[in-house]
Amino acid sequence: MADNALHVVDPEIADLIKAEERRQADTVKLIASENYVSKAVLAATGTVLTNKYSEGYPGKRYYEGQQVIDQIETLAIERAKAVFGVNHANVQPYSGSPANLAIYLAFLQPGETVMGMGLPFGGHLTHGWSVSATGKWFNPVRYGVRKDTGRVDMDEVRELALRERPKVIFCGGTAIPRIIDFPAFAEIAKEVGAVLAADIAHIAGLVAGGAHPSPVGYADVISTTTHKTLRGPRGAMLMATSDEHAAAINKAVFPGLQGGPHNHTTAAIAVALREAGTEAFRDYARQVVLNAKALAEELISRGFDLVSGGTDNHLILMDLTPKGVGGKPAAQALDKAGLETNYNTVPFDTRKPFDPSGIRIGTAGVTSRGMGVAEMRQIGAWIDQVVSALAKDEEEAKHVILRVHGEVRELTKHFPAPGL
């Protein structure tokens, strides 16, 4: 019925949505920050809940008519607490960046020092990078990774923290293929009297499914998006283990940064969290990691240089310098072949951010489609064929891309995407 109404009112948008459905169905999603939501999550997102305005929190609203909305938000909160084992959860942040900005508002004054992983090393814009408001309004200090290992050196992090005395330390990021050492970060934060904020946006689903260690018990505040590995809608959450931090976070989100929450998104978050609390989701999280390791092994066997030498989670970061191809042309060629990735800066990159040396790939989406280790081997072979052809000859690359795209379409027929 909704599809029919959309087609009647706006056939152009309806047709474009159908085209995107076909595109998603026919391609292999390897972008580490993307996934597929279930039909249930999709259904909750497109409901009459979008009609309701709900400034405030359950039981303390500034608008009437909240009898149902309060129940929905409370369900989402209680499920977040149960899935992640936290005492407090705020499910209102509109997305990951506003959620992280709320941490600044809660625990920092403008000009005070924040410490986070540098963007070129795998950190996030909102961890104090120069082009972000967080790098302009606060005093950012940044740690990176060792050149020889591609991993964070916790001794160097400690030295930097002792010297700079940040008020907040961020751990986590957007291109980190290895386990985050939450206990070590917690020890450093305690030593310098800083609030430790764990940004688990990429690995939240793995944490929920027991496939990655949890920051609970170590981080004072936990920030996450609700999509990516968690397979929810485009939203975010903030979690805490103490009443003091919970009150500061709630006040920062509303009224500090936002007005009314997006109730349709809150409902979809609740649905996703219910799914994340199942044994099936735990199996999914484990398979995501198994698939990433298998894909990494296949790529290494074909001569690809992986940052840190592999992966412990869903994410693989490749430096294409030894292949003689830039990350941007490689990502564009792979996209034409039906293999979605994103070009990405690698640690100590000598190229510009908009034309970097690497590409970032992830296995959350392909695992949601039911693909396993055998399919990862095939995907690794396709990536090699496209990149190798691109490095040799432009005309040859066109033929290889065309052939691979046909083979990708054939594979995706056997693994329907959830929600489509």
Q: What is the pLDDT of residues 109-123, one digit of tens each?
A: 999 999 999 999 999
Q: How confident is the model at residue 393 (pLDDT cuts 50, 70, 90)?
A: confident
**Catalytic, out of 34, 55, 70, 112:** 55
In a domain, 327, yes or no: yes
Do residue 316 and residue 267 come from a single domain? no
Do residue 106 and residue 236 come from a single domain? yes
Mean pLDDT of the region 241-270: 95
**Catalytic, out of 234, 336, 351, 398:** 234
CATH number of the domain encompassing residue 231: 3.40.640.10
In a domain, 1, yes or no: no
In a domain, 83, yes or no: yes
In the chain, how many domains are there? Answer: 2
The whole-number pLDDT of residue 59 equals: 97
Q: Tell which phi-psi region holds residue 186, choosing left (phi > 0), alpha (psi between -120 and 50) or beta.
A: alpha
Do residue 58 and residue 176 come from a single domain? yes
**Catalytic, out of 34, 53, 57, 336:** 53
Which of 248, 276, 304 is where one domain is finished?
Answer: 276
Could you confirm whether 409 is annotated as catalytic? no
Do residue 189 and residue 80 come from a single domain? yes
Q: Is the pLDDT of residue 218 over 60?
A: yes
Q: How confident is the model at residue 2 (pLDDT cuts 50, 70, 90)?
A: low
Residue 52's domain comprises: 43-276
Do residue 329 and residue 226 come from a single domain? no
The whole-number pLDDT of residue 398 equals: 94
Do residue 87 and residue 62 come from a single domain? yes
pTM of the model: 0.96
Do residue 196 and residue 335 come from a single domain? no
CATH number of the domain encompassing residue 305: 3.90.1150.10
Do residue 86 and residue 192 come from a single domain? yes
Which of 241, 276, 311 is where one domain is finished?
Answer: 276
In a domain, 218, yes or no: yes
Mean pLDDT of the region 62-84: 98
**Catalytic, out of 27, 134, 199, 360:** 199
Could you confirm whether 367 is annotated as catalytic? no
Q: Is the pLDDT of residue 187 over 80?
A: yes
**Catalytic, out of 225, 345, 363, 412:** 225
Mean pLDDT of the region 285-291: 98
Could you confirm whether 228 is annotated as catalytic? yes
Mean pLDDT of the region 304-308: 98
Calpha distance 119→403 (Å, rounded): 36
Could you confirm whether 53 is annotated as catalytic? yes
Do residue 182 and residue 202 come from a single domain? yes
**Catalytic, out of 79, 142, 228, 360:** 228
In tens, the pLDDT along 220-253 reads: 999 999 999 999 999 999 999 888 899 999 999 9
In a domain, 5, yes or no: no
Do residue 158 and residue 208 come from a single domain? yes
In a domain, 153, yes or no: yes
In tens, the pLDDT along 146-174 reads: 999 999 999 999 999 999 999 999 999 99
Q: Between 264 and 395, whose confidence is greater? A: 264
Q: Is the pLDDT of residue 1 over 70?
A: no
Do residue 65 and residue 206 come from a single domain? yes
In a domain, 36, yes or no: no
The whole-number pLDDT of residue 243 equals: 85
| Mean pLDDT for the chain overall | 97
Which of 276, 304, 320 is where one domain is finished?
Answer: 276
Mean pLDDT of the region 199-207: 98
Do residue 312 and residue 377 come from a single domain? yes
The whole-number pLDDT of residue 3 equals: 75
In a domain, 282, yes or no: no
